[in-house]
C-alpha cells in the first residue's frame, strides 16, 4: 500500500489525459476552477428567470428580505430550485464515477442498476392500485423502488460462483431494467391515471419537485460517507481484481460498499428530480480528462462538475423557451448526446 500511495502522489503520465502528467498543483487549480464555475452557475440560477434580477436584488432577498415580489420569487422559488439542482447534480456526478469505476465500463451510468425503472415501477404501481398520490408519497415511492431495484441487481449479480463482477452486474442491471420497464408498460396501458403520473414524473425537472429533500438528506449523507470509504478500493480495483486482492483489498466488501453508495446517491437524485439522463454518464469522462485516474481527485471534481452541469442546463432551459421553459432533462439530452459522442470518439478518454 505505501508503494501504491507513492505512485498516486507522483505526477506520472496518465492515459486518460492523453499521456500528460497530472500533478497535485494542476489538480488543485482545476478543482478551484470547478468550484468557481459552480459559484457562477448558482448565481445564474438565482438571477435568471421569467423576470431577471440583479445581484443586488438577489443579495437583498437573501440577507434583508422585505417581502417584495422579487424577494418572494428568489426565496420561495429560485433558491429551493437551485439547492435541489446542486444536490441532484452532485449525486449524479458521484454515482456516475462510482458505477463506471466498479463496472469498468465507460458507457455505464447510474441507470444501469435499474434505479430509474425501479422508481418508475413503484410510482406507477401505487397509482394503479391506490390512485393519485401526494408529492411526498411519490418521493417516498420513488426512493423505495430505486433502492429495491439496485438491491435486486446486486443479489442477481452476486449469484454466480465468482460473486459480483463487472460483467454480472451489467447483465443483472440490464435484466432488472427490462423487467421493470415491461411491468411499467403493462400497468400504464391498463390505467390512464398511472400513464399521466408517469408522463409527468419521467420529465426530469427541478420544477414542481417539492417535499423530497428532507426525506432523502440522511440517505445522501450515508451515500457520501460510503463513497469516501470506497476511494482507496476503487484505485486498486482499477488494476484488476486479482491485483486488488493481492494488495489486500476485499473485492466483495468493496463492491457492496460501492453499490450501496451508488444506490443511495442516484436513488436520491431520481427521487428529487426524476430520471435525468447524461449527467451521470458524461461527468466521469470530463473528470478523468481533467484529473486523471485517481479517484481521490475524481470524486470531488465530479461532485462540483455534476452540480454545475445540472444548474447550467436548468438555467438554459428557462432562457431558450421563454415565457415557458424546457426541463433540465430535455436540455441535458440535447447537449449531452453530442458531447458524449465527441468523448466516445476520443478513445484515450474512455479508457478505464
| Residue 179 in domain | yes
| Residue 271 in domain | yes
**pLDDT digits 0-9 by tens, 113-128:** 888 889 899 999 998 8
Q: Which three cell numbers stand for residue 189?
A: 396501458
Q: What is the 3-class SS of 111-132, one letter each residue?
A: HHHCHHHHHHHHHHHHHHHHCC
State residue 249's pLDDT score. 79
| Residue 183 in domain | yes
| Residue 44 in domain | no
How many domains does the chain fold into?
1
Q: What is the mean pLDDT of the chain?
A: 83
State residue 225's pLDDT score. 95
Give residues with Cβ within 8 angstroms of 67, minimum separation 6: none
| Residue 140 in domain | yes
Expressed as residue numbers, the domain containing 166 is 70-349
Widest pairwise Cα distance in the chain: 65
Q: Which residue has the higher pLDDT, 279 or 4?
A: 279
State residue 246's pLDDT score. 83
Neighbours of 25 (CB within 10 A): 9
Give residues with Cβ within 8 angstroms of 314, minimum separation 6: 45, 81, 85, 206, 328, 331
| Residue 146 in domain | yes
| Residue 5 in domain | no
Q: Dihedral of CA 96/265/326/307: which sign? A: negative
Residue 57 CA, distance from chain mean position? 32
Phi, psi of 21 (to 5 degrees): -70, 140
pTM: predicted TM-score of the whole model, two decimal places: 0.85
**pLDDT digits 0-9 by tens, 64-93:** 888 888 888 888 888 989 999 999 999 999
What number is the average pLDDT over the span 29-48? 94
Residue 351 pLDDT > 70: no
What number is the average pLDDT over the span 190-199? 85
| Residue 30 in domain | no
- The CATH number given to whatever domain includes residue 170 is 1.10.3470.10
Amino acid at each position: 500500500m505505501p508503494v501504491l500511495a507513492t505512485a498516486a502522489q507522483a505526477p506520472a503520465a496518465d492515459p486518460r489525459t492523453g499521456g500528460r502528467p497530472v500533478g497535485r498543483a494542476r489538480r488543485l487549480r482545476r478543482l478551484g476552477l470547478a468550484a468557481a464555475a459552480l459559484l457562477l452557475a448558482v448565481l445564474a440560477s438565482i438571477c435568471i428567470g421569467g423576470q431577471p434580477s440583479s445581484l443586488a436584488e438577489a443579495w437583498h432577498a437573501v440577507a434583508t428580505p422585505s417581502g417584495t415580489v422579487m424577494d418572494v420569487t428568489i426565496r420561495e422559488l429560485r433558491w429551493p430550485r437551485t439547492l435541489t439542482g446542486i444536490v441532484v447534480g452532485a449525486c449524479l456526478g458521484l454515482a456516475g464515477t462510482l458505477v463506471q469505476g466498479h463496472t469498468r465500463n465507460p458507457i455505464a451510468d447510474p441507470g444501469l442498476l435499474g434505479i430509474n425503472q425501479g422508481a418508475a415501477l413503484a410510482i406507477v404501481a401505487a397509482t394503479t392500485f391506490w390512485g393519485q398520490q401526494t408529492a411526498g408519497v411519490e418521493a417516498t415511492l420513488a426512493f423505495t423502488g430505486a433502492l429495491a431495484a439496485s438491491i435486486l441487481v446486486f443479489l442477481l449479480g452476486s449469484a454466480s460462483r465468482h460473486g459480483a463482477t463487472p460483467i454480472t452486474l451489467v447483465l443483472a442491471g440490464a435484466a432488472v431494467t427490462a423487467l421493470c420497464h415491461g411491468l411499467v408498460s403493462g400497468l400504464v396501458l391498463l390505467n390512464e391515471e398511472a400513464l399521466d403520473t408517469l408522463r409527468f414524473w419521467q420529465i426530469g425537472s427541478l420544477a414542481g419537485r417539492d417535499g423530497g429533500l428532507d426525506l432523502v438528506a440522511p440517505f445522501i449523507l450515508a451515500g457520501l460517507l460510503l463513497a469516501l470509504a470506497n476511494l482507496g478500493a476503487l484505485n486498486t480495483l482499477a488494476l484488476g481484481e486479482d491485483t486488488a486482492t493481492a494488495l489486500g483489498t476485499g473485492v466483495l466488501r468493496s463492491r457492496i460498499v460501492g453499490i450501496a453508495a451508488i444506490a443511495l446517491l442516484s436513488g436520491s437524485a431520481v427521487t428529487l428530480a426524476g430520471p435525468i439522463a447524461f449527467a451521470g454518464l458524461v461527468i466521469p469522462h470530463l473528470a478523468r480528462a481533467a484529473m486523471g485516474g485517481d479517484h481521490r481527485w475524481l470524486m470531488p471534481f465530479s461532485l462540483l462538475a455534476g452540480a454545475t452541469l445540472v444548474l447550467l442546463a436548468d438555467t438554459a432551459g428557462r432562457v431558450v423557451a421563454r415565457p415557458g421553459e424546457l426541463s433540465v432533462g430535455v436540455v441535458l439530452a440535447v447537449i449531452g448526446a453530442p458531447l458524449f459522442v465527441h468523448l466516445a470518439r476520443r478513445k484515450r478518454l474512455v479508457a478505464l
